Amino acid sequence: MVGLRAAIVLLLHGLQLARSQNVFVQSGSYEDLLEFSTTQKPGDTLELSSLSSEGFTRLLHPFFPKHSARIKKSHFCDETVQAYTGYLDIGTRHTFFYFFESRNDPETDDVMLWTNGGPGASSSMGLFMELGPCNIVSPNKTAFNPYSWNSNANIFFIDQPIGVGFSYADFGETVGTTEESAKDIAAFVAIFFETFTKFKGRGFHLSGESYAGRYLPLYASEIYDQNAKLAAANLTTVNLKSVLIGNGLVDFSQQMTSFYQVQCTGAVVSPLQPISTCVRMQKAVPRCEKWMKAACVDHFDHMDCEAAVSFCSAELLMPYFEKGYNPYDVTKMCCYEEPSWIEQYLNQPWVRSILGVDSSFGNFTGSAEDVGIAFTKSGDMFHQNQLYIAELLERGLKVLIYAGSYDFICNWIGVERWTLNMEWSGQKEFATLPLREWKLDGKTVGETRSAKGLSFATVFGGGHLLPRDRPAESLAMVNRWLAGEDL
């Protein structure tokens, strides 16, 4: 019945959009949407504080007839600020999000969106065990996080693409490419800034980690290009200021061979592999570079590229996993407790009721394997996303590329490599700068270089989940970035 009801609602919305060029606001629970209908007139404002905690308020945008959003107050996680949850609805597809106002000054602070990677990882990981307003401490309890990134920013956590976390499709559809999900994210951002007038003109920042190195360059590009169309229609544009990518997979072909340096050269910690394994790896590196360049970069052939990556993974990646090391931290073995706690916490009926999770939704899982499979089959990861980053830099956007020094899977060596090799007008100036120390409370906590809007930074002792491992350092880094200060 949910699918039928959604179809009826969309039909009615389509008729309304044909009559007006305004933003619409419709109140009530999702099941009762047809019983409530109000229209936001030109010049009217909608305040977040006016939203209900009992049901959703539905938001429409004249430029996106296939997209709408619904949002409600959700009193949880951080009692010091207002919190909200909701969905971006695209036909029969529904993308879940959390939103927390800034602890500092929600009336003036910038807006940030955070996404975890995967592909298929829920941003509940970022929310509950990294940079969110509360940390998961048991399957039944969260604790206040003094190092949350909403210390000086209003922040979204979004479960994307469809099929991740609390996001779902009525008929089980999934998104298989970043290009598809980019259009949905750009529409969602436009709906938010058009509707909540107090945020119009605020700086907006896209942030995330891991596979967000693929997501965010495309999301930012879609938002940037979309702005021209919104401006031409006399609608609110998004003041996109920067992109922050942590331990990101941006160019797999350059980052793949860094696994040798991490395991064998002492560039991160003492060598992790026996000499015989390292000698074999050293011989495999030039073959990997040559094969991936020919099959994945110079002339993309999906099957040949997969074969190249398979060979390189077997030679450079598998020896690490066979030893049982943690892929997110070379100093640790195996796993974290928090992901299972998060799943148990979010599957409790009282939590889901507060969040407004659709009653038809099944069990929450933090990692959606079917999404990862769909992205893998489409070859989505085999791209050079620094091409998008270069274009964003040329258009005046700022980009922060940061990495915890102990990460393995998207380690700082591979991350730094592509930043140095990226072709753009600032390449020469950026690449010739030496790394310099950056400090917190007088202590050196990492290294950095910056030129013409691009910054690269490491944080000592942090892994893939940097805000979890080094919360004070990561917050200081982000706050300085938002304030326009050097690290």
When pLDDT is cut at 50, 70 and 90, the band that residue 219 belongs to is: very high
The pLDDT of 15-26, averaged and rounded, is 36
pLDDT at position 45, please? 56
Q: Please tell me the pTM assigned to this model.
A: 0.91
Structure confidence by residue, pLDDT tens digits, 66-103 = 999 999 999 889 989 999 999 999 989 999 999 999 99
pLDDT tens digit sequence for 169-184: 998 887 889 999 999 9
Residue 242 bears catalytic tag? no
> Catalytic site residue 159?
no
Q: Which of 94, 205, 383, 464 is catalytic?
A: 464
Catalytic entry in 122, 210, 242, 474: 210
**Is 31 a residue whose pLDDT tops 70?**
no
Is position 464 annotated as part of the catalytic site? Answer: yes
**pLDDT of 448-468, one tens digit each?**
999 999 999 999 999 999 999
Judged against a pLDDT cut of 50, whether residue 11 lies above it is answered with no
Based on its alpha-carbon atoms, the radius of gyration of the chain, rounded to whole angstroms, reads: 22
- Domains of the chain (ranges plus CATH)? 69-256+334-487 (3.40.50.1820)
pLDDT of residue 47: 87
Q: Residues in the chain, how many? A: 487
Spot the catalytic one: 109, 159, 407, 469: 407
Residue 144 pLDDT exceeds 60: yes
Which whole-number Å values give the CA distances from 51 to 27, 84, 150, 428, in the listed order?
9, 9, 20, 50
Q: What is the mean pLDDT of the chain?
A: 89
Q: What is the pLDDT of residue 377?
A: 87
